[in-house]
Chain A
């Protein structure tokens, strides 16, 4: 018997932090203006120590003006979507659950677009509207996915796919009929993109990320039991309704946060938790933090590819995650069918 210890969770997280740091350095290095690793490290150290005068202006512009904000945004979005995905998988007892597949990202995108139409200059409103859109969609999908009083995994996925398709159509309608207004591009909302700088201070957005991930983490032991069956979890003393509300609100918040900043990036919430399950096991006490860090790594690397594969043209980062995520979805679906 080798039960999970806080020390082991900490060690694994430290390892993933190191991988994330390496991914960040590689991402900073590559692009239309290549910089050596040594120059990056020197620039980062000088920047951290406030010695701006010692940094060449082009390095300052490329590292702190262009690449680092984009990477910081990618980390935020990847961590949010992956933790939301892990949360939805337990909440809905469905390993194929993911904010994009379930239409939650599309709901958040629609909420964000509506807020841009109604009050384009209100700070923070876009995040609130995206959260409301995400929460409303998951509630709708949950009720549509019920058959005979029980949540049916096949019906749930169909309900999600139909909702995603319907909401995407509404988004396309709005974007086409309201052309000329500053609503960002259609590709941004439907595929995801990290090129737009957020209007809000990143520190506030990171605080929201910590609140969302932390809230889900407080239910980690409960989620482990819920995965063996809700009824059984209740027998063992889990307040299943409370856990579901916490995960529902927090996962919707994280999805809304990510979509309001980067549009609907698909499959990260599916791909990352499953990779982490394969590497570190199914225990939610390790799965939640590793999903957050793993999601950050995956988005940073996916965005790096999106920027460099057909340079100087940039692909939407969602195209890269879909190329990797869709085969994983099919693999998981076929494994379940067998």
Chain B
């Protein structure tokens, strides 16, 4: 089943089950932000205003060149930074009004892993994802272990459960980090350049997995990425960023226009439509 067909099938299933259009998962309304070196100096970088929406089962790719504001947007969505103006809502609740633990129950952010101070086994790492769902000082229950085990199974990392984190390959580590995020049972799954250190096989496998997570588990998945082709292949919606502005939001077919992408990425590009209707980006001769 192709990615789009999977997505549409899931959507149809939900519509049939509920008898109505699924409710909105994420609403970003005129959100903006600005960085400045000091409190009084003029902003050195301004983001926004950005507006877009996402439904359950959707995979949204945030695209743009370096310093286009993708990661800042992701921080706003994760609630790590409060927007200067506008609103960001998850399941109808403003993200910045949520306390830390409730936010961690709704939103999981997957970033490049930082260095572990002391060695940790994979299952211990994944169990950490259960932290927001209990008291602050807690011992994990059997249900926690079951959910962590399911999360590992969802990303195909069950055989890794007793390995040490620092002995995993880049691709394996990425899957385990994703499993910890899934064990948080979030509605919104945010990933910051998850394909950065993966080879092409690993990239495709990861995007396929994310697509399946969105299709099968009601997650809404947002991925910040530089992978134009993979984003076109796997996402339902693209948010195209450039110099802090949101240039266009829409399906890959709507966003992938040659002039637009060439202007944004400052590279000679060609767009081809594949038989399935998905665009394919080709780099024209640059020599």
Contact = CB atoms under 8 A, between A and B. Distances in A.
B80 A221 contact: no
A193 B254 CA distance: 77
B128 A224 contact: yes
Given A234-B80, A236-B131, A95 B118 contact: yes
A222 B136 CA distance: 7
A228 B114 contact: yes
B104 A221 contact: no
A95 B131 contact: no
B161 interface: yes
A238 B140 CA distance: 16
B131 A238 contact: yes
B42 interface: no
Taking residues whose C-beta sits less than 8 angstroms from the other chain, chain B's interface range is 35 or more
Taking residues whose C-beta sits less than 8 angstroms from the other chain, chain A's interface range is 20 to 34
Interface in A1-36: 1, 3-6
Interface in A224-279: 224-225, 227-229, 231-232, 234-239, 277
A285 B104 contact: no
Interface string B123-145: 11101110110001111100011
Interface string A198-225: 0000000000000000000111111011
Interface string B167-180: 00000000000000
A235 B104 contact: yes
A4 B149 CA distance: 16
A236 B79 CA distance: 12
Given A218-B137, A235-B104, A238-B131, A1 B119 contact: no
Contacts of A4: 139-140
A238 B132 CA distance: 8
Contacts of A238: 100, 131
Interface string A91-125: 00111000000000000000000000000000000
A124 B254 CA distance: 74
A235 B198 CA distance: 23
Most buried by A among B108, B128, B149: B128
Contacts of A6: 139
A308 interface: no
A237 B145 contact: no
Given A6-B139, A218-B137, A225-B128, A235 B109 contact: yes
A227 B78 contact: no
Given A221-B138, A237-B104, A228 B132 contact: no
Nearest to A9: B139
A155 interface: no
B152 to A, nearest CB: 9
A17 B138 CA distance: 23
Nearest to B129: A236
A282 interface: yes
Contacts of B131: 221, 225, 236-238
Q: Is the interface of A mostly helix, strand, loop or mixed?
A: loop
Nearest to A230: B114
B78 A235 contact: yes
A1 B161 contact: yes
Contacts, number: 84
Interface string B69-113: 000000000101000000000000000000011111100110101
Contacts of B109: 235
Contacts of A222: 136
A285 B100 contact: no
B182 interface: no
B16 interface: no
Contacts of B125: 228
Contacts of B113: 229, 232
A1 B121 CA distance: 10
B116 interface: yes
B119 A282 contact: yes
B37 interface: no
B117 interface: yes
B191 interface: no
B12 to A, nearest CB: 34
A282 B109 CA distance: 25
Nearest to B125: A228
B139 A5 contact: yes
Nearest to B108: A235
A283 B138 CA distance: 12
Given A1-B127, A93-B117, A225-B128, 15 more contacts: A3-B127, A4-B139, A94-B117, A221-B137, A228-B120, A232-B111, A232-B113, A234-B100, A236-B128, A236-B129, A236-B132, A237-B101, A237-B105, A237-B131, A282-B120
Interface of A: 1, 3-6, 93-95, 217-222, 224-225, 227-229, 231-232, 234-239, 277, 282-283, 285
16 contacts: A217-B137, A218-B137, A219-B137, A228-B128, A229-B113, A229-B114, A229-B116, A232-B111, A232-B114, A234-B80, A235-B108, A237-B103, A237-B131, A238-B131, A282-B118, A282-B119
